[in-house]
A and B are shown apart, each in its own frame.
Chain A
Amino acid sequence: AQKVTQAQTEISVVEKEDVTLDCVYETRDTTYYLFWYKQPPSGELVFLIRRNSFDEQNEISGRYSWNFQKSTSSFNFTITASQVVDSAVYFCALSVNDYKLSFGAGTTVTVRA
């Protein structure tokens, strides 16, 4: 069975603060894919990043960065110098070889001006 846990339900920060979102996953498969999606207040779901289980390199895209650690089964997401436009619900997701896609419960980020 596969499972994704996002323990942080809500995070509130002041603009320009950094914020880190935790994602812990469970799977017995050695091949799997991890994703992050963003859901702004308008409601659409936007893909942010994909990482496969063989690639543990961290990634940076502008103010966003991701830290993938297989040793702790974690795929954490950091927003540096947060902005009001970063306010959204962020979902971590996991796919393994049985064609299912499992999402975490999501973390609501509120960035206050």
Chain B
Amino acid sequence: EAQVTQNPRYLITVTGKKLTVTCSQNMNHEYMSWYRQDPGLGLRQIYYSMNVEVTDKGDVPEGYKVSRKEKRNFPLILESPSPNQTSLYFCASSLSVRQPQHFGDGTRLSIL
């Protein structure tokens, strides 16, 4: 089954404790991206990747890091999480940004 898998689905943690949200897709997609969803703001792109080893900032990259060492994986790293990063996060993949995105089920992060 074609899918984008995010883990964990839920996480409550404390300020400053490094965390990684994993994202994996099995569709051989070149384009992958991360979004955060906040009430009233819709989805905002954090980082995107056009292919292996090629990543770039989206609209809200501050406080986040990503890497794309393999085509299927695109982890989101919060090196020193802060409460303003409490949000619902989605990973997505597609053949390109011009194609429909396949979204993961989301990860709800709460940073206390």
Contacts and interface: CB of A to CB of B under 8 A. Distances in A.
Nearest to B41: A105
Contacts of A93: 43
A54 interface: no
A54 to B, nearest CB: 12
Interface residues of B, number: 26
Interface residues of A, number: 22
B97 A103 contact: no
A50 B100 contact: yes
A103 B97 CA distance: 13
Interface in B22-80: 31, 33, 35, 40-45, 48, 50, 56, 58-59
Contacts of A106: 42-43
A100 interface: yes
By DSSP majority rule, is chain A's interface helix, strand, loop, or mixed? strand
Contacts of B92: 45
B100 A101 contact: no
B106 interface: yes
Contacts of B99: 50
Contact of A47 (B50, B58, B100): B100
Contacts of B44: 103
A20 interface: no
A93 B33 CA distance: 14
A35 interface: yes
A102 B45 contact: yes
Contacts of A95: 97-98
Interface of B: 31, 33, 35, 40-45, 48, 50, 56, 58-59, 88, 90, 92, 97-103, 105-106
